[in-house]
């Protein structure tokens, strides 16, 4: 469904119209958008060769490029060390001042959020698929490939096909022990991993308005698992309060038109919704957690971390449940904050002590166990309860390992009990 003349535009269409200098855009149209922010992590090392092959020598705007080392921090393999070196050399040669290297590092999306690099109305692109997270700012934020990024670095522009938009309207009140992660898992269960391929998702309704910015980051982050180009929440007073004093460039706050035309509208009522869990081997294999708890699923490893759920609010919530408890015998519990700033906050608040006294290992800030490449790798047939975003075969190591995706509170409940558990039992 594309809007006829005179029909309004969705939030994604508004942003793409602004960044391409058009009065209006329609789904399916190819536009050339001016990029407001480009982000690279280790995978960005693959952009350096094509950048030079194009004959480029300078980055279009060094002030609009952020590099964050986050997957292997500090370098844990020779390959990772080489990627880091390529990025350091590139940043030095092209005079890129915004490099979050080891010591001030963090997961790239969290670095962008907490330092105000993406603001309402932006077109932001990154070399990681979960760049969608920044759509919580009211921006079109999308992951792109290395050669596309090379062109962006040289020209500051990018061809994009305007996506059609699915509107998700959420009403009701999240119950005790039920979180934004449970909400996005439920939506994923309905839309499935291919149900929003190359579409924008616009989250709206009173429940979304009531969510904090960290909670909005969580739901926009997992829009990636629906196959979407971007996930967005229109900016409001909470957005501006979050960005107050940290925004790095001018905002262009936009709202969807009342008569915008949507590809599909999905209504979700969260009243009475229990905690949810995505079971192996797909993020859309979603069930009510209490039903799965009855099956007594034993866990070998628990992971509280990732760009989905490792913000200070998530770790506080986890630590509150962990206080005075112990990690179950035979369980490895890994806690990884999303950024160095969050790590420091955990240090101040005694959160690190709470987790380590209980028998967990608290790591530096990185992608950590999420992607099966750095630490916390699973052996065949091991089971992990994780607050991350993907549980495909081989995601955290052996392809025979099984991963259950949960809220931070539910991961802590699993660590305490040694099997999947309802976090409400510990509140």
Interval 341-396: pLDDT, tens: 999 999 999 999 999 999 999 999 998 998 988 899 999 999 999 999 999 999 99
Contact status, residue 222 vs residue 370, Cβ threshold 8 Å = no
Same fold, 11-267 and 276-426: yes
> In the Cβ-directed half-sphere of 352, how many Cα atoms lie within 13 Å?
14
Tell me the mean pLDDT in the region 58-84: 96
Flag whether pLDDT at 6 surpasses 60: no
Tokens standing for 294? 């009855």
Tell me the mean pLDDT in the region 281-297: 98
Contact status, residue 263 vs residue 12, Cβ threshold 8 Å = no
Tally Cβ neighbours within 10 Å of residue 256: 20
Tally Cβ neighbours within 10 Å of residue 85: 12
What pLDDT, on a 0 to 100 scale, did the predictor assign at position 1? 39
Is residue 146 classed exposed, middle or buried when 0-12, 13-18 and 19+ CB atoms within 10 A define those classes? middle
Give residue limits of the domains in the chain.
Answer: 11-267, 276-426
Q: How far is CA 381 from the centre of its chain?
A: 27
What pLDDT, on a 0 to 100 scale, did the predictor assign at position 7? 84
Please report the DSSP string for 298-367 in residue order.
Answer: B-SEEEE-TTTS-SHHHHHHHHHHHTT--PPTT-EEEE--SBHHHHHHHHHHTHHHHHHHTT-EE--SSS
What pLDDT, on a 0 to 100 scale, did the predictor assign at position 18? 98
Flag whether pLDDT at 5 surpasses 70: no
Nearest to 141 by CA among 151, 157, 152, 128: 128
What pLDDT, on a 0 to 100 scale, did the predictor assign at position 3? 41
Flag whether pLDDT at 2 surpasses 80: no
Contact status, residue 128 vs residue 96, Cβ threshold 8 Å = no
Q: In this structure, what are the phi and psi dihedrals at residue 359, rounded to the nearest 5 degrees?
A: 105, 10
First to last CA, the chain: 46
Nearest to 389 by CA among 212, 233, 225, 179: 225
Flag whether pLDDT at 123 surpasses 50: yes
Flag whether pLDDT at 186 surpasses 70: yes
Question: At the fourth CATH level, which superfamily is domain 11-267?
Answer: Aconitase, domain 3 (3.30.499.10)
Tell me the mean pLDDT in the region 166-188: 98
Nearest to 184 by CA among 162, 201, 163, 198: 201
What pLDDT, on a 0 to 100 scale, did the predictor assign at position 373? 87
Interval 302-312: pLDDT, tens: 999 999 999 99
Cα three-residue angle 392-394-395, rounded to 5 degrees: 60
Cα three-residue angle 294-189-395, rounded to 5 degrees: 80
CATH number of 276-426: 3.30.499.10
Q: In this structure, what are the phi and psi dihedrals at residue 129, rounded to the nearest 5 degrees?
A: -65, -25
For residue 8, the 8-state DSSP code is B
Tell me the mean pLDDT in the region 103-120: 97
């Amino acid at each position: 469904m594309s809007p006829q003349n005179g029909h309004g535009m969705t939030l994604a269409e508004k942003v793409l119209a602004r960044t391409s200098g058009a009065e209006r855009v329609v789904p399916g149209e190819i536009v050339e958008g001016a990029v407001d922010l480009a982000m690279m992590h280790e995978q960005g090392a693959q952009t350096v060769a094509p950048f030079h092959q194009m004959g480029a020598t300078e980055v279009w705007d060094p002030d609009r490029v952020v590099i964050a080392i986050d997957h292997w921090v500090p370098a844990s393999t020779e390959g990772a060390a080489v990627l880091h070196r390529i990025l350091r050399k590139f940043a030095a040669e092209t005079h890129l001042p915004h490099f979050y290297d080891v010591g001030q590092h963090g997961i790239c999306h969290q670095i962008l959020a907490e330092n105000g690099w993406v603001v309402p109305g932006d077109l932001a692109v990154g070399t990681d698929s979960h760049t969608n997270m920044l759509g919580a700012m009211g921006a079109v934020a999308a992951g792109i490939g290395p050669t596309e990024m090379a062109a962006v670095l040289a020209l500051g522009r990018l061809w994009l096909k305007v996506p059609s938009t699915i509107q998700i309207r959420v009403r009701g009140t999240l119950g005790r022990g039920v979180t934004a992660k449970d909400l996005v898992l439920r939506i994923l269960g309905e839309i499935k991993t291919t149900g929003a391929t190359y579409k924008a998702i616009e989250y709206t309704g009173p429940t979304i308005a009531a969510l904090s910015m960290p909670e909005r980051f969580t739901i926009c982050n997992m829009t990636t698992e629906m196959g979407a180009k971007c996930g967005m929440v229109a900016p409001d007073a909470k957005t501006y309060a979050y960005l107050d004093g940290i925004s790095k460039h001018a905002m262009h706050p936009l709202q969807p038109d009342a008569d915008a035309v949507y590809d599909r509208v999905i209504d979700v009522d969260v009243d009475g919704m229990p905690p949810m869990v995505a079971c192996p081997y797909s993020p859309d294999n979603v069930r009510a957690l209490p039903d799965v708890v009855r099956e007594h699923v034993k866990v070998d490893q628990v992971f509280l971390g990732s760009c989905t759920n490792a913000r200070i609010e998530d770790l506080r919530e986890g630590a509150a449940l962990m206080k005075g408890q112990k990690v179950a015998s035979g369980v490895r519990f890994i806690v990884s904050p999303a950024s160095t700033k969050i790590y420091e906050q955990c240090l101040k608040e005694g959160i690190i002590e709470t987790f380590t006294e209980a028998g967990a290992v608290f790591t530096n800030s990185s992608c950590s166990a999420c992607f099966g490449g750095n630490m916390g790798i699973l052996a065949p047939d091991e089971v992990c309860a994780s607050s991350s975003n993907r549980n495909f075969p081989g995601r955290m190591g052996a392809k025979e390992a099984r991963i259950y995706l949960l809220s931070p509170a539910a991961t802590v409940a699993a660590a305490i009990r040694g099997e999947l558990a309802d976090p409400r039992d510990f509140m």
